[in-house]
Amino acid sequence: MSRTVLVTGGNRGIGLSIAQAFAKQGDQVAVTHRGSGAPDGLYGVQCDITDPAAVDAAFTQVEKELGPVEILVANAGITDDTLLLRMKEEQFTSVVDTNLTGAWRCAKRASSKMLRAKFGRIVFISSVTGLYGNAGQTNYAASKAGLVGLARSITRELGSRNITANVVAPGFVETDMTAELPVAQREAYAKAIPAGRFATGEEVASAVCWLASEGAGYVTGAVIPVDGGMGMGH
């Protein structure tokens, strides 16, 4: 059965791997982008998730073209790292506004149609950092930890309506975000990962697709690590 999927930030990186995995299963997949356009085979909507009106317009466009969003993957995210004492107020609030409030905006907009359909799957892309902490990432870690409370509260509000809300917490994944890391730091991180390497986007995507599947209908409020053992189940 083909379902309508929306992946925020699905134009590149982990989001693109997720979008392609759903498309490969035969689902109708829309991705948000901020001007880059959509990769081949995916339906693109321009949307900055920090703008509530843009979020509403993107959902309206997807609903018109592909039907109501049945599976939402809140993936779009940013980093703006520096140590606590050096971090400016704006660096904290902008990361939280994108990673946490942006995900909340999308989940809120998706939920009314999911309630009507009596079906919905919401997956938030968090990070091992949200559970483990990381020096230099107070803003990012706080935003990613917040997604756990968000998913669990949605589970309590909407769980009886056949809507699940879960969190996938990747470790380090090969994307533009981690390409920015200095080589020595990448090597140090890889040594701390029991699997001994960074993940591929496809490895994150397969956990997301499973959470969105019929078979995972009783899994909700969960945090699924995809981190090569880095967080030991957290």
Q: What residues between 35 and 54 interact with ligand NDP by CB under 6 A?
A: 36, 47-50
94: contact with ligand NDP by CB under 6 A: no
Query: Applying CB under 6 A, which of residues 95, 123, 125, 154 lies at the interface with ligand NDP?
Result: 125
Q: Least distance to ligand NDP from the beta carbon of 1, Å? A: 27
* Residue 11 touching ligand NDP (CB under 6 A): yes
According to CB under 6 A, which one of 105, 175, 203, 223 is a site residue for ligand NDP?
Answer: 175
Give the Cβ contact number of residue 108 at 10 Å: 13
Q: Residues 32, 137, 164, 166: which binds ligand NDP (CB under 6 A)?
A: 32
What is the size of the binding site for ligand NDP (CB under 6 A)?
A: 30
Asked if 28 contacts 43 with a C-beta cutoff of 8 angstroms, the reply is yes
- Report how far residue 148's alpha carbon sits from residue 146's, in angstroms, rounded to the nearest whole number: 5
Whether 178 contacts 172, CB under 8 Å: yes
Q: Which is nearer to ligand NDP, 25 or 134 (CB)?
A: 134
Distances from the Cα of 24 to the Cα of 3, 29, 229, angstroms: 12, 10, 28
- CA–centroid distance for 79 within its chain: 14
- Establish if 220 lies at the interface with ligand NDP (CB under 6 A): no
47 Ramachandran zone, left/alpha/beta (phi>0; psi -120 to 50): beta
Among 29, 172, 209, 220, binds ligand NDP (CB under 6 A): 172
Residue range at the interface with ligand NDP (CB under 6 A); choices 56-64, 167-175, 188-196, 212-220: 167-175
Q: 135 near 83, Cβ under 8 Å? A: yes
Q: What is the set of active-site residues?
A: 140
Minimum separation from the CB atom of position 218 to ligand NDP (A): 25
Rounded Cα gap, residues 71 and 146, in angstroms: 20
* Binding of residue 173 to ligand NDP (CB under 6 A): yes
Distance CA 108, CA 121 (A): 13
Q: Which residues sit at the interface with ligand NDP, rule CB under 6 A?
A: 8-9, 11-15, 32-34, 36, 47-50, 75-78, 98, 102, 125, 127, 170, 172-173, 175-178
